[in-house]
């Protein structure tokens, strides 16, 4: 697994902490998933109470605060600075939302905020699209991780642009990449890992399941299966059928 700002994650699973029916259920889902990273929103956690914060810290995973809900570079930068003080980490998942309905990232605000935060010593995980030009600009700004969306946040639609994600992965082979947002089924996670991504990040698909811990475990197993499939050297798809039984030497009746 690739390096994430000097850290090697034990599993390719990242999980959000929002939308769970209870803190206890959230904790159970994390234990079941074996997630290496927990994303937390400053705006949410500051109002959740010290007990919730202690529970999150007790998970023993890497903490990735995010700037969820920010719609401008200035707002995201301020939120990131507050998150660093509150959570005690320079990791930040950078979100600058540009469209109210799709929650698509604002590429201009995202790049502006990324440049400022990288210059300020943050280790930025930008929530972005699969656009290669934007990806190159973010890397030039100092980002060492990219988090392209699979589909709109919370939609559960899976990977909307497989070609775009595949070409993005191929264009920057040495950059750690996480498919973030839109994953609804464990099969989506396996597909992302089969494409060569290093991790997945999800929240809603687990939190809104009837049985969050079991769904979290399903996603973890799917991500592991996809990663193994990628590294095992999968066969190339063909246009024609190829018999699995050799025809050479076969008796013709």
Does the pLDDT at position 166 exceed 70? yes
Picking from 74, 58, 60, 56, the residue whose alpha carbon sits closest to that of residue 17 is: 56
CA distance 86 to 144: 23
Give the containing element (helix H, strand E) for 225.
Answer: helix 212-231
Residue-level pLDDT at 1: 63
Residue-level pLDDT at 43: 67
By mean pLDDT, which of 57-71, 124-138, 200-214, 215-229 is the weakest? 57-71
What is the per-residue pLDDT across 128-158, written as a single tens digit (0 to 9) for each? 999 999 999 999 999 999 999 999 999 999 9
Picking from 31, 24, 36, 39, the residue whose alpha carbon sits closest to that of residue 181 is: 39
Report the mean per-residue pLDDT for the chain: 92
Residues recognised as catalytic: 93
Residue-level pLDDT at 29: 95
What is the per-residue pLDDT across 56-86, written as a single tens digit (0 to 9) for each? 888 889 999 999 999 999 999 999 999 999 8
Higher pLDDT, 104 or 42: 104
Residue-level pLDDT at 235: 85
User: How large is the average pLDDT for residues 110-118?
Assistant: 98
Binding site annotation covers 142?
no
Does the pLDDT at position 245 exceed 90? no
Instruction: Give the number of C-alpha atoms closer than 13 A to the C-alpha of residue 180, restricted to the C-beta side.
Output: 27
CA distance 231 to 163: 20
**Strand duo 37-41 + 62-66: pairing:** parallel
What is the per-residue pLDDT across 23-52, written as a single tens digit (0 to 9) for each? 899 999 999 999 999 999 876 555 556 777
By mean pLDDT, which of 26-30, 35-39, 92-96, 101-105 is the weakest? 101-105
Q: Is 47 helix (H, G, I), strand (E, B) or coil?
A: coil
| Domains annotated on the chain, with CATH | 3-232 (3.20.20.70)
pLDDT above 90 covers what percent of the chain? 78
pLDDT band at 238 (very low <50, low <70, confident <90, very high): confident
Residue-level pLDDT at 50: 73
Binding site annotation covers 203?
yes
pTM: 0.90
């Amino acid at each position: 697994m690739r390096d994430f700002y000097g850290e090697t994650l034990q599993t390719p699973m990242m999980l959000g902490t929002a939308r769970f029916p209870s803190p206890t259920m959230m904790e159970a889902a994390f234990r079941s998933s074996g997630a290496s990273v927990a994303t937390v929103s400053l705006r949410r956690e500051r109002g959740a109470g010290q007990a919730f914060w202690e529970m999150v810290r007790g998970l023993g995973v890497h903490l990735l605060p995010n700037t969820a809900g920010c719609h401008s570079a200035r707002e995201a930068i301020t939120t990131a600075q507050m998150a660093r003080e509150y959570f005690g980490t320079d990791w930040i998942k950078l979100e600058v939302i540009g469209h109210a309905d799709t929650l698509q990232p604002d590429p201009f605000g995202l790049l502006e905020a990324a440049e400022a935060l990288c210059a300020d010593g943050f280790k930025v995980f930008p929530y972005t699209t699969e656009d290669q030009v934007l990806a190159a600009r973010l890397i030039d700004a100092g980002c060492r991780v990219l988090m392209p969306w699979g589909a709109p946040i919370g939609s559960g639609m899976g990977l909307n642009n497989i070609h775009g994600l595949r070409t993005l992965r191929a264009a920057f082979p040495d950059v750690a990449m996480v498919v973030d947002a839109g994953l609804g089924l464990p099969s989506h996670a396996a597909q992302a890992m089969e494409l060569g991504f290093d991790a997945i990040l999800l929240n809603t698909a687990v939190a809104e399941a009837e049985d969050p811990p079991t769904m979290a475990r399903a996603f973890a197993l799917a991500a592991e299966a996809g990663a193994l499939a990628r590294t095992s050297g999968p066969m190339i798809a063909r246009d024609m059928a190829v018999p699995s039984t050799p025809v050479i030497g076969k008796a013709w009746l």
